[in-house]
Chains A and B, each alone.
Chain A
Amino acid sequence: MEYVNPEGIREDGRRPLEMRHLHAEIGTVARADGSAVFEMGNTKVIAAVYGPREVQNRSQQLNDQALVRCEYTMPNFSTGDRMRKPKGDRRSTEISLVIRQTMEACILTHLMPRSQIDIYVQVLSADGGTRSACINAATLALADAGIPMRDLVTSCSAGYLNSTPLLDLSYFEDSAGGPDVTVGILPKLDKVTLLQMDARLPIDIFEIVVQLATEGCKAVANYIHEVLLENTKQLEYRRGL
């Protein structure tokens, strides 16, 4: 099966080191404290943040830091075939956990003891890279909610098919069964907070693919910076500054 044709073009017309088109909007869910929609190609994800607020379940309250909770859901229409059980299946639980741990690492939780921050991520359309799109959307939503963070968290995936490292896999490329590496970084601090891989890779190729994914994360970080800057300008403009 050919994923990169002899001229070096992938199935959706991109070059191997090219990311899909990024698009983000902030503040889409008016009732949430912070919200964002993030698109990577055809993968579209909406994130809403509620908090910091009072802890609902007293037994889970932490006295020295905030409690971060996350729920990831995919509606039945978001993938090619209609899914039967949108909530609570094992993949959703795993991804909720991954997102929670990634965001918890960068939120300054010690500033908000005995409180709770809820991050809800809803996939609207899935075409590969949903994990990364969710983390990027969650970062934007947390920034929109004004929750103090060490740094933005950005995420991107990369793979290796037909002996070529590929950036930002689509669903078609992801389902090829080749390696799929998802990386999440704190761009300014230059630290990795998330690293997941499935399938097999020789170690030297692994380094190349991780490096590629990290470059992708940095490109996403630049884009997110621009979006946040534009949003702040809009807010200043509306306040008459």
Chain B
Amino acid sequence: MVGLSAGEKHFIQGGIAQDLRADGRKRLNYRPIYVETGVIPQADGSAKVKMGATEVIASVKLDLARPNPSQPGKGKVSLFVSCSATAGPMFEGRGSEELSTELSVALQRCLLGGKSGAGAAFDPSCLSIVDGKLCWDAYIDGLVVSADGNLLDALGAAIKAALTNTRVPVANVPAGASLDEDPDVDLSSQETTRIDTSGVPVIVTLTKVGRHYIVDATSEEESQMSSAVSVSINKERRICGLTKRGGAGLDPSIILDMISVASHVSEQLMNKLDSEIAAAEADEQDT
């Protein structure tokens, strides 16, 4: 990224202080969000989300597998994010490892729940085929195609849309088949079920610049941040995950204030996302 001059930095900080950012937005406004589903034909579910110049793609692939012995009635879910070199030369070769790991871990914390499977974004028992013997493994992959700030929010939205777009094939296992070796699973019926994504949270990142917080920072604004707090909130206004980035220390009261602001913003974001996802799905049905 090209460096910012002292004048530009002053302009960004001053604008945020006066509730008028460089692109005309107010502090708590998101950039226009554009959702498209079904972008990867080979995946079982996929979505592309654009927030301004930030573009991310999420895909969900399902593979047959044995469930975890400690959770026989549930499928396994894994999540990885990678940054494509198209987003910038700094992501070439192994340059993207650090950021990819950071994003993956933050999203896993928000969406995958604890070791017992409790608190996950969606109920993995919908992935089970035969209790204790056969289940679907869901691999959620995120790919950052173009980076202009606010990657975590965009990835959260893309994963939510991709999960909504996922069609889980209905697998018929013939009765009496031996399930200790690889069973003959009948996938010929074209029926599919959907995953209930009403519990999937959205992620709202609040970036603190000076004394104010902004939502949906561009990468120029992020370069001026002192710290950022990403809060993952679901429909019931409950917090599903929390991450703080940036070295500056924050007073606990400020963190609580940021959480309440995030909670307020999340409602608008959730509604906007739900309507965009529904529209994208309808578009996909038509084509």
Contact = CB atoms under 8 A, between A and B. Distances in A.
Interface residues of A, number: 33
A71 B43 CA distance: 24
A71 B93 contact: yes
A120 B85 contact: yes
Contacts of A32: 86, 88, 146
Among B84, B88, B94, B141, residue most surrounded by chain A Cβ atoms (within 10 Å): B84
B145 A29 contact: yes
Interface stretch (A14-22, A78-86, A151-159, A218-226): A78-86
A124 B146 contact: no
Contact of B39 (A76, A124, A126): A124
Contacts of B128: none
A121 B86 CA distance: 7
Given A31-B53, A31-B147, A46 B61 contact: no
Contacts of B53: 29-31
Contacts of B42: 42, 77-80, 125-127
A118 interface: yes
A120 B93 contact: no
Given A50-B89, A71-B92, A122 B43 contact: no
Contact of B146 (A31, A87, A126, A127): A31
Contacts of B55: 28-29
Interface residues of B, number: 30
Interface of B: 39-43, 46, 53, 55, 57, 59, 61, 63, 80, 82, 84-89, 92-94, 139, 141, 143, 145-148
Nearest to A87: B93
B87 A29 contact: yes
Sorted nearest first, the 6 A-B pairs with minimum C-beta distance are A48-B86, A30-B53, A120-B85, A77-B59, A29-B146, A122-B84
Contacts of A29: 53, 55, 86-87, 145-146
B92 A124 contact: no
B89 A124 contact: no
Contact of A82 (B39, B63, B146): B63
Interface in A26-42: 28-32, 35, 42
Contacts of A82: 61, 63, 139
A122 B147 contact: no
Given A46-B86, A77-B46, 15 more contacts: A28-B55, A28-B145, A29-B146, A31-B53, A31-B147, A32-B88, A44-B40, A48-B85, A71-B93, A118-B92, A120-B89, A120-B92, A125-B39, A125-B42, A127-B41
A31 B139 contact: no
Contacts of A56: 89
A75 interface: yes
Contact of B145 (A42, A46, A79, A125): A46
A125 B41 contact: yes
A47 interface: yes
A34 to B, nearest CB: 11
A136 interface: no
